[in-house]
Amino acid sequence: MAENKYITPSDNSYKKYVGLLTQTGITSPTIEILENTLGEVTWNYSAPGKYYAQIRNGIDINKTVVFLQQTRSTDAIFSFGYQDLPNSLFIYTRYFDGSFKYSDSLLSSTPIEIRIYN
């Protein structure tokens, strides 16, 4: 029988940004930072249900992983992506009511973790 082996990352295998994300009205999201080894991150409002984080030290999409946890009931969906804005990561929030309309005020102490691997 094959033995299961698990890889434990060393403390310096990636940089991370962990926190609780909140957004209301037509304002930029705010975050309660729990841990940050990534450097300066600035949150911005783009349009209803569309926000982006600008990462000062840069972002390599081929080495980036994002964990965004659903904390609301089934009336909202969250997703993320990259666009042509340098060093930025976009977060999208939509109502899950059949219309998938982009909507504000759906992030409330929503856990997020951004990892950028070396």
Structural domain boundaries enclosing 72: 14-117
Predicted pLDDT of residue 25:
93
Answer whether residue 84 shows pLDDT above 60.
yes
Answer whether residue 9 shows pLDDT above 60.
no
In the chain, the number of structural domains is 1
Residue 30 lies in a domain: yes
Instruction: Name the band, by pLDDT with cuts 50, 70 and 90, for residue 117.
Output: very high
Q: What are the residues whose beta carbons fall under 8 Å from the beta carbon of 72, sequence distance 6 or more?
A: 106, 108
Q: For the whole prediction, is pTM greater than 0.85? A: no
Residue 27 lies in a domain: yes
Residue 6 lies in a domain: no
Whether the CB-CB separation of 45 and 53 falls below 8 Å is answered with: no
Residue 1 lies in a domain: no
Whether the CB-CB separation of 86 and 30 falls below 8 Å is answered with: no
**Considering the chain, what percentage of its residues have pLDDT values greater than 70?**
85
- Phi, psi dihedral angles at 68 (to 5 degrees): -130, 110
